[in-house]
Amino acid sequence: MARAYTKRKVSHLPPPLFLVLIYAGFILLGTLALKLPFATTGAITWSDSAFTATSAVTVTGLAVIDTGTGFTLFGQAVIAFLIQLGGLGVMTFAVLILSMLGLPVGFTHHLYLREDLNQTSTTDLLELAEMILRVVLLCEVAGAALLAFVFVPEFGWGAGIWMALFHSISAFNNAGFALFPDSLGRWVGDPLVNIVVPLLFILGGLGFTVADDVQRQRSWRRFSLHTKLMLTGTAALLAGSTLAFAAMEWSNPATLGALDWPARLWASWFQAASTRTAGFNTVDMAGLTDGTTLMFMVLMVIGAGSTSTGGGIKVTTFIVLLLATLTFFKRHRNVDVFGRRLGAEQVMKVLALAMVSVFLILLALFAMLLLHEGDFLDLAFETVSAFGTVGLSRGITGDFDAAGRIVMMFIMFVGRVGPLTLGFLLATRQPKRISYPAGTVYLG
Domain for residue 435, yes or no?
no
Please state whether beta strands 335-337 and 340-342 pair in parallel, antiparallel, or not at all (unpaired).
antiparallel
- With contact defined as beta carbons under 8 Å apart, do 229 and 314 qualify? no
Domain for residue 22, yes or no?
yes
Domain for residue 5, yes or no?
no
Nearest CA to 378 out of 442, 261, 288 is that of 288
pLDDT reported for residue 310: 80
Domain of 397?
14-426
Residues 6+ apart with CB under 8 A from 386: 60, 62, 364, 408, 411, 412, 415
- Can you name the residues that pair with 335 across neighbouring β-strands? 342
Give the Cα separation of 363 and 357 in Å (integer).
10
- With contact defined as beta carbons under 8 Å apart, do 78 and 296 qualify? no
What is the chain's pLDDT, residue by residue, as a tens digit (444 residues)? 444 444 444 445 565 666 777 888 889 999 999 999 999 999 999 999 999 999 999 999 999 999 999 999 999 999 999 998 888 765 465 555 545 444 444 445 445 555 545 555 444 556 666 777 788 889 999 999 999 999 999 999 999 999 999 999 999 999 999 999 999 999 999 999 999 999 999 998 888 788 878 888 788 888 989 899 999 999 999 999 999 999 999 999 999 999 999 999 999 999 999 998 888 999 999 999 999 999 999 999 999 887 777 888 889 999 999 999 999 898 888 898 888 888 888 888 888 888 888 999 999 999 999 988 889 999 999 999 999 999 999 999 989 999 999 999 999 998 887 654 555 555 555 556 677 787 767 666
DSSP state of 173: T
pLDDT reported for residue 420: 47
pLDDT reported for residue 14: 61
Question: What is the SS3 assignment for 340?
Answer: strand
Domain for residue 438, yes or no?
no
DSSP state of 342: E
pLDDT reported for residue 427: 52
Give the Cα separation of 306 and 209 in Å (integer).
8
pLDDT reported for residue 431: 59
Give the Cα separation of 241 and 150 in Å (integer).
27
Domain for residue 173, yes or no?
yes
Q: 155-163: long-range contacts (C-beta < 8 A, 24 or more apart)?
A: 162/73, 162/76
User: Which secondary-structure segment (H or E) carries 382?
Assistant: helix 376-387
pLDDT tens track for 107-116: 454 455 555 4
Q: Which amino acid appears at position 74 of this protein?
A: F
Residues 6+ apart with CB under 8 A from 368: 379, 382, 383, 404, 407, 408
Give the Cα separation of 196 and 19 in Å (integer).
32
Give the Cα separation of 306 and 205 in Å (integer).
8
Give the Cα separation of 352 and 151 in Å (integer).
45
Q: How many domains does the chain fold into?
A: 1
pLDDT reported for residue 10: 43
pLDDT reported for residue 128: 66
pLDDT reported for residue 308: 77
- For 69-114, give the DSSP string: HHB-HHHHHHHHHHHHHHHH-HHHHHHHHHHHTT----HHHHHHHH
Domain for residue 181, yes or no?
yes
Domain for residue 166, yes or no?
yes
Domain for residue 443, yes or no?
no
pLDDT tens track for 212-267: 788 887 888 889 898 999 999 999 999 999 999 999 999 999 999 999 999 999 99
